[in-house]
């Protein structure tokens, strides 16, 4: 049975209760309802949480709006656990953290992780001035009226703990919203599993392990000065679920391919003047429609063709694949420097492969992600040796955790996507260009 999140202390007069398929009833205060009803937050209804994963798992049509509500619910649940452990949390502080959770994804654009993290076309959603632009309207006005503009912005901009003295804010404000094992993770693990139709979950007991140490959010893995194997096992279960979703959903080759196609379409559109701010009020479907007609009045057929590939699920195929299984970390780092961080280097490789294969430039997509690592393994935990990072070897990190980190690192894949029928020729040309034999051959 999935947990049902109800905060008995929530001030819901003039607020509302929303029924969520994952967490049950979520109670909102009147302020949270106001924030939820702003155009800046409502736009998240049009942005899917897992990008193009619905091309693999049709149920993955849940949105960043849903996830934002769930993250707020998890903040409330963690705060309740902290109170049960005897911490006297200020209700206004909790309100600031809850509102920050509700708008923590407000700066996302359609297919944002693909555009920002994978093809690096724009700054990350939590960088730059995107937040300032979105807070220039009704959302910002709502926060100012409530006296929460400064603390919420501090939480979202990772400045909650930069100052010392009277103006300083508790570290846990930021950490509960976005750190390692946090409200964000606790919602999307359940939500993504649920909508993908995968039977993976964690136990409610995890909420009893959250604690505060010098204002920091930690997971308490000790009782009566003895380490608790059961608590550590529950934390490891979270990380196993994180790995499982990465393997099955987030890094699925079809999701990767479709996202890479959209990214290349956007990249080509930027050559005609498409800007980051042009994406800010677009939905997923709206962006595809924009691309098909971009630039206005003289659409680029290359951009339209790529957008239509995704709409019709007429995707490119894996012509070349290498992985961490056969490419050591040093070599992976060189590839990442040459084809992930260097946009011009990636473009030259795509142009060279297109020339060798006699294909249009838009039909060849090089995908080189950053190196994979499991940040959640660095969560702060309290052991009988004190507060340490979960994966700290000096703290007796279990071998199972290291094995899980290694498996996550091994999810790294370098692809070249090409039209069907060109896979074998692509493999030969890419082997010569990149210096590694392809690990996948086209089916005969």
Record the tokens describing residue 169, joined without a space: 């804010």
Q: What pLDDT does residue 57 have?
A: 98
Q: What pLDDT does residue 162 have?
A: 45
Q: What angle do CA 334, 337, 340 make, to 5 degrees?
A: 125
Q: What pLDDT does residue 13 have?
A: 60
Whether the predicted pLDDT of 321 surpasses 90: yes
Whether the predicted pLDDT of 439 surpasses 70: yes
Record the tokens describing residue 174, joined without a space: 């930021």
Record the tokens describing residue 370, joined without a space: 């950053």
Where residue 358 falls among pLDDT bands split at 50, 70, 90? very high
Q: What pLDDT does residue 263 have?
A: 96
For the chain, the first-to-last Cα distance in angstroms comes to 46
pLDDT tens digits, 408-430: 999 999 999 999 999 999 999 99
Cα torsion angle, 437, 439, 442, 444, sign? positive
pLDDT tens digits, 193-235: 999 999 999 999 999 999 999 999 999 999 988 989 999 999 9
Q: What is the mean pLDDT of the chain?
A: 91
Secondary structure element (H or E) that encloses residue 319, with its range: strand 317-323
- CA dist., res. 37 & res. 39, Å (int): 6
Q: What is the DSSP letter of 371?
A: P
Contact between 323 and 439 (Cβ < 8 Å): yes
Nearest to 33 by CA among 56, 13, 54: 13
Whether the predicted pLDDT of 2 surpasses 60: no
Phi, psi of 20 (to 5 degrees): -110, 135
Q: What pLDDT does residue 125 have?
A: 66
| DSSP letters spanning 317-369 | EEEEEEETTTS-HHHHHHHHHHHTS-HHHHHHHHHHHHHHHT--GGG-EEE-P
Query: Strand pairing partners for 382?
Result: 220, 387
Phi, psi of 216 (to 5 degrees): -90, 145
pLDDT (average), residues 128-139: 87
Contact between 111 and 138 (Cβ < 8 Å): no
- How crowded is the C-beta side of 403, counted as CA atoms within 13 Å? 5
Contact between 54 and 252 (Cβ < 8 Å): no
Name the residue with tokens 């902290």.
Answer: 82
Where residue 27 falls among pLDDT bands split at 50, 70, 90? very high
Secondary structure element (H or E) that encloses residue 434, with its range: helix 423-434
| Strand 226-227 relative to strand 222-223, pairing | antiparallel
Q: What pLDDT does residue 124 have?
A: 75
**3-state SS assignment for residue 432:** helix
Whether the predicted pLDDT of 161 surpasses 50: no
| Percent of the chain residues past pLDDT 70, beyond the cut | 92
pLDDT (average), residues 296-313: 97
Record the tokens describing residue 114, joined without a space: 């693909």
Torsion of Cα atoms, 120 then 125 then 129 then 133, to 10°: 130
Where residue 177 falls among pLDDT bands split at 50, 70, 90? very high
Query: Strand pairing partners for 216?
Result: 213
Contact between 288 and 311 (Cβ < 8 Å): yes
pLDDT (average), residues 7-13: 47
Name the residue with tokens 């939480």.
Answer: 155
pLDDT (average), residues 20-34: 97
Nearest to 179 by CA among 148, 152, 128, 218: 218
């Amino acid at each position: 049975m999935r947990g049902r999140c109800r905060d008995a202390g929530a001030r819901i007069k003039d607020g509302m209760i929303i029924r969520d398929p994952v967490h049950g009833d979520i109670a909102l205060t009147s302020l949270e309802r106001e924030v939820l009803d702003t155009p800046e937050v409502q736009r998240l209804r049009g942005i899917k949480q897992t990008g193009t994963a619905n091309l693999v798992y049709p149920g993955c049509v849940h949105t960043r709006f849903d996830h934002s509500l769930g993250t707020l619910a998890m903040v409330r649940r963690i705060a309740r656990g902290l109170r049960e452990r005897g911490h006297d949390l200020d209700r206004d502080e909790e309100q600031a953290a809850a509102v920050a959770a509700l708008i923590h994804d407000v700066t996302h654009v359609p297919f944002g992780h693909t555009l920002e993290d994978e093809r690096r076309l724009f700054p990350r959603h939590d960088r730059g001035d995107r937040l300032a632009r979105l807070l220039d309207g009704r959302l910002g006005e709502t926060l100012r009226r409530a006296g929460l503009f400064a603390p919420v912005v501090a939480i979202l901009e990772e400045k909650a703990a930069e100052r010392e003295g009277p103006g300083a804010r508790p570290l846990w404000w930021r950490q509960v919203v976005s750190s390692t094992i946090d409200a964000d993770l606790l919602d999307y693990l359940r939500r993504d599993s649920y909508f993908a139709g995968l039977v993976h979950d964690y136990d409610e007991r995890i909420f009893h392990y959250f604690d505060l140490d010098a204002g920091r959010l930690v997971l308490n893995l000790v009782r009566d000065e003895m380490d608790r194997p059961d608590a550590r096992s529950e934390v490891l279960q979270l990380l196993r679920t994180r790995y499982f979703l990465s393997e099955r959903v987030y890094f699925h080759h079809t999701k990767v391919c479709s996202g890479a196609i959209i990214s290349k379409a956007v990249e080509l559109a930027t050559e005609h003047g498409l800007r980051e701010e042009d994406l800010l009020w677009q939905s997923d479907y709206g962006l595809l429609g924009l691309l098909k007609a971009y630039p206005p009045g003289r659409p680029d057929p290359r951009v339209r063709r790529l957008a239509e590939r995704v709409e019709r699920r007429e995707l490119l195929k894996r012509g070349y694949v290498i992985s961490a299984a056969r490419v050591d970390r040093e070599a992976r780092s060189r590839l990442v420097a040459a084809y992930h961080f260097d946009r011009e280097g990636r473009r030259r490789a795509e142009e060279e492969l297109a020339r060798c294969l006699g294909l249009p430039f838009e039909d060849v997509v090089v995908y080189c992600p950053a190196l994979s690592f499991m940040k959640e393994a660095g969560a702060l935990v309290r052991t009988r040796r004190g507060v340490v990072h979960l994966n700290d070897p000096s703290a007796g990190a279990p071998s199972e955790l290291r094995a899980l980190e290694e498996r996550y690192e091994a999810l790294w894949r370098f692809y070249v996507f090409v039209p069907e029928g060109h896979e074998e020729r692509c493999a030969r040309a890419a082997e010569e260009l990149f210096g590694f034999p392809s690990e996948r051959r086209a089916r005969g």
